[in-house]
Amino acid sequence: MSFPDAASVALRDSQLRRNLAKATGTIRAKRASVVGELPDWQELRSAGRALKDRSLVDLDAQLELLEERVSAAGGQVHWANEADEACSIVAGVARAHGVDEVVKVKSIATDEIKLNEALAAAGVQAVETDLAELIIQLGDDVQSHILVPAIHKNRAEIRDLFARSLDLPDLSDEPEALAEAARVHLRRKFLSARMGVSGANFAVAETGTVCVFESEGNGRMCTTLPEVLVTVMGVEKLVRSWQDMEVFLQLLPRSSTGERMNPYTSFWTGVRPGDGPQEFHLVLLDNGRTGVLADQVGRQALRCIRCSACLNVCPVYSRVGGHAYESVYPGPIGAILTPQLHGMSEGRSLPYASSLCGACYEVCPVEIDIPRVLVHLRGRVVDTEPAWKPEKAAMRAMYRAFASRRSFERAQRAARLGSRPLARRGRIPRLPWPLSGWTETRDLPEPPAETFRDWWRRERGEGRARDEKPVDGEIGGKRGPRDLGAAATPDAAAAPRATSQNGDARRAMLGRIRQALADRPAPVEVPREYRRRSERSRPEIVDLFAERAGEYRATVRRAAPQELRQALTELCRHRGARRLTVPADLPPQWRPDGVELVPDTGLLPNDLDTLDGALTGCALAIAETGTIVLDGGFAQGRRALTLVPDYHLCVVSEDSIADLVPEAVERLEAAVAEGRPLTFISGPSATSDIELNRVEGVHGPRTLHVVIAG
């Protein structure tokens, strides 16, 4: 079904339009608020654009470096030309481990390749663990938004679905009750899972580090608890260096969820002995991306970081929703990405699904000029239409009519003669087919009895001007509209992509990338004019961290060194925590009174689930975002400690609080180089997937207490 037909159906759904208006309006307001806090937002956008472009201009070398670093860290890298090849790789890993069920993080790339269906055909059930994706899966539905996939569902519909699918007839439609039902249902899956599947928001070539941004804690569950982890990643998700993340850690959360930082952001590098999955597979996916890279105008779509900001400001999307795009990539970004991924063989009506108002470009955090790409793709669509198509035939006739003065005058005379039987009172109310579509919604003025040129000749005599020969490439030149369009269409986009049966996938993909970059894009200079050093005093930084952490529903308390034990004791008593797991190197002065401390000696997930909480330190904290960061260092323990129990009590040293994200990224460089996993935590786990009502505590800890020591 074409976009106009699908949109016509969607426009008749008044409930959908109400849901969309509320959701997009709410997200727009949240985004505007947190973006407005940053005085250097435009500088961050410019840097984000340059960083993504820099990674694309030598994508082949960066992918080879990523492969080398992941392999050195104990991971295995696979290359997949097509969707079927990627699905086969994931299914093969599952079969090798005798797995018949995998837990899965929300991933648009895996939706794109229809991984769930492929795994089901191989006898493996993929369990979606994001709340919205679970709603979609249980309802046998399709996503309608990148960030909030079930945006088209209201709470009553979700309640009925859960009552029927999870056998909960007495379930209420309160968002808290619905989130709790999902938590209980998925908890058993997480604790027994042997294999997890994820996508990736970014991968760092120089270190082999992969990351996932999320809110509910299901991403941490899937990438931490199973024995085996498989990540499917589009090849465009690369950044060159760890330093580059100082930009995207600011751009993505504020543009997507409208938060200073997602509740959880996880980074891992290969395999970390004793912490997390002990087998890691990274699947590098092409599936049309090298064809997009070959288009000098369209390749900027590969900058996309999947924030969905363009959807929330688009006047078209806000009225028809995501289903009308008939793609896992809805909205403006889908309108330019979907047709290109399919070599213009599918989604041909999507470049027209826009008013070209430019709102999408204004909010894009990596400055993708979506209107320009839309117009460019419209040209490619027209260029590849058969010559007999009415619109194309009409455009070619107009081209010929305007090619010279004589042909233009002949066309004027023909129009005057042909319009006489159709004109009524100076108007042509209806043209015959195939031009009748033009006059269905408008009248056409009758051509004048005398043209300006005729009047000039009558009044001034025949002019002496001669027809000028048009310049090659201009209107009337040797290259007509079809030729111009063909010149703009990349050969690589139309070329068939090799499969594993026709040769090595790695060699084929690298070859297509090099062919796509045959135009030799210029090296990209990255402007780093955003703030990188704090101008606040130490007391101001500590105060800001306490304020921002509290805004994200963490309980924050300050304590002098001699008061630390008492503060921890009181918080445990307030929480009702009697048994806490702790890392083996917990300092003696951090041990609260009256609480049984269970050292982590390789506790299994089910063991951790029986405890009341976890007490740890952290590597550092970030004042501007209210975030604590764990890197597996001193007094922090394994990632599972702060994930499975329902309560996290964290000690933050005043001296460890950085003001800005770039300062924190710089301090963490050594940990990343050593291959230590990082977990950024901003408040308790949360979801807004049910009518955008925020619910605290989904799959990660429901309560976060922070004690600032100093």
**Number of folded domains in the chain?**
2
CA torsion 7→12→17→19, rounded to 10°? -110
Residues 70-86 have pLDDT tens digits of 999 999 999 999 999 99
| Same domain flag for 671 and 546 | yes
Q: Confidence band (pLDDT; 50, 70, 90) for 154?
A: confident
CA diameter of the chain: 109
| Same domain flag for 693 and 607 | yes
Among candidate residues 353, 305, 309, the one with its CA nearest the CA of residue 327: 353
SS3 424: strand
* Burial of 396 from C-beta contacts in 10 A (0-12 / 13-18 / 19+): middle
| Same domain flag for 611 and 474 | no
Q: What pLDDT is recorded for position 79?
A: 97
Q: What pLDDT is recorded for position 20?
A: 87
Q: What pLDDT is recorded for position 494?
A: 41
Residues 242-301 have pLDDT tens digits of 999 999 999 999 999 999 999 999 999 999 999 999 999 999 999 999 999 999 999 999
- The predicted model gives 669-691 an average pLDDT of 94
- Provide the percentage of residues in the chain whose pLDDT is more than 70: 94
Q: Which of 104-118, 384-398, 498-512, 516-530 has the highest mean pLDDT?
A: 104-118
In angstroms, what is the C-alpha Rg of the chain?
Answer: 29
| Same domain flag for 565 and 477 | no
Q: Confidence band (pLDDT; 50, 70, 90) for 215?
A: very high
Nearest 5°: the CA angle 613, 619, 621 is: 90
| Same domain flag for 643 and 577 | yes
In the structure encoding, which two tokens stand for residue 362, read together?
Answer: 């204004």
How does the average pLDDT of the chain come out, rounded? 91
- The predicted model gives 148-172 an average pLDDT of 92
Q: Confidence band (pLDDT; 50, 70, 90) for 395?
A: confident
Q: Confidence band (pLDDT; 50, 70, 90) for 466?
A: very low
**For residue 671, is it within any domain?**
yes
Residue 503, pLDDT > 60, answer no
Q: Confidence band (pLDDT; 50, 70, 90) for 357?
A: very high
Looking at the DSSP assignment, which residues form a beta bridge with residue 678?
267
Q: Are 103 and 197 in contact (CB under 8 A)?
A: yes
In the structure encoding, which two tokens stand for residue 253, read together?
Answer: 């959360």
Work out whether the CA dihedral 141, 142, 144, 145 comes out positive or negative: positive
In the structure encoding, which two tokens stand for residue 246, read together?
Answer: 């100082």
Cis peptide preceding 371, ω within 30 of 0: no
Residue 574, pLDDT > 60, answer yes
Q: How does DSSP classify residue 534? A: -
For the full predicted model, state whether its pTM sits above 0.75.
yes
- The predicted model gives 234-238 an average pLDDT of 97
Residue 535's φ and ψ, nearest 5 degrees, are -110, 5
Q: What pLDDT is recorded for position 475?
A: 35
- The predicted model gives 86-109 an average pLDDT of 97
Rounded to whole angstroms, the Cα distance separating 351 from 374 reads 5
Q: Are 192 and 57 in contact (CB under 8 A)?
A: no
Q: Confidence band (pLDDT; 50, 70, 90) for 414?
A: confident
Q: What pLDDT is recorded for position 103?
A: 98
- The predicted model gives 507-514 an average pLDDT of 96
Angstrom CA distances, 285 to 93, 202, 566, stand at: 16, 13, 53
Q: Which string of b and e fits 433-450 if b means at least 16 CB within 10 Å? A: eeeeeebeeeebebbeee
CATH number of the domain encompassing residue 676: 3.40.50.10420
CA within 13 Å, CB half, 140? 1
- The predicted model gives 603-608 an average pLDDT of 95
Q: What pLDDT is recorded for position 396?
A: 81
Pick the last residue of a domain from 442, 468, 486. Answer: 486
Nearest 5°: the CA angle 564, 569, 572 is: 125
DSSP string computed for 23-63: HHHHHHHHHHHHHHT-TTHHHHHHHHHHHHHHHHHTHHHHH
**For residue 312, is it within any domain?**
no
Q: How many CB atoms lie within 10 A of CB 482?
A: 17
In the structure encoding, which two tokens stand for residue 612, read together?
Answer: 């009341």
Q: Confidence band (pLDDT; 50, 70, 90) for 683?
A: very high
| Same domain flag for 542 and 628 | yes
Rounded to whole angstroms, the Cα distance separating 338 from 344 reads 8
Residue 243 CB partners (closer than 8 Å, separation 6+): 665, 666, 669
CA within 13 Å, CB half, 78? 23
Q: Report residue 237 CA to chain centroid gap.
A: 10
Rounded to whole angstroms, the Cα distance separating 238 from 203 reads 5
| Same domain flag for 620 and 686 | yes
**For residue 601, is it within any domain?**
yes
| Same domain flag for 474 and 544 | no
Pick the last residue of a domain from 486, 515, 546. Answer: 486
**For residue 218, is it within any domain?**
no
Lowest mean pLDDT among 32-41, 128-137, 404-413: 404-413
| Same domain flag for 562 and 689 | yes
**For residue 429, is it within any domain?**
yes
**For residue 498, is it within any domain?**
no
**For residue 414, is it within any domain?**
yes
Residues 36-60 have pLDDT tens digits of 999 999 999 999 999 999 999 999 9
Pick the last residue of a domain from 470, 486, 502. Answer: 486
- The predicted model gives 154-158 an average pLDDT of 91
Better-scored residue on pLDDT, 442 or 196: 196
Domain region containing 464? 391-486
Q: What pLDDT is recorded for position 489?
A: 46
Residue 661, pLDDT > 50, answer yes
Angstrom CA distances, 105 to 152, 196, 652, stand at: 21, 8, 30
Lowest mean pLDDT among 154-158, 297-301, 438-442: 438-442
Among candidate residues 235, 223, 250, the one with its CA nearest the CA of residue 290: 235
Residue 534 CB partners (closer than 8 Å, separation 6+): 541, 658, 659, 660, 663
- The predicted model gives 406-418 an average pLDDT of 85
Which DSSP helix (H) or strand (E) runs through 92?
Answer: helix 83-96
Work out whether the CA dihedral 115, 120, 122, 123 comes out positive or negative: positive
SS3 633: coil
- Provide the percentage of residues in the chain whose pLDDT is more than 90: 74
| Same domain flag for 588 and 663 | yes
| Same domain flag for 428 and 549 | no
In the structure encoding, which two tokens stand for residue 303, read together?
Answer: 């900058």
**For residue 583, is it within any domain?**
yes
Q: How many CB atoms lie within 10 A of CB 475?
A: 13
DSSP string computed for 105-152: ---HHHHHTTHHHHHHHTT-EEEE-SHHHHHHHHTT-----SS-TTTT
Q: What pLDDT is recorded for position 409?
A: 85
| Same domain flag for 476 and 550 | no
Q: Report residue 188 CA to chain centroid gap.
A: 28
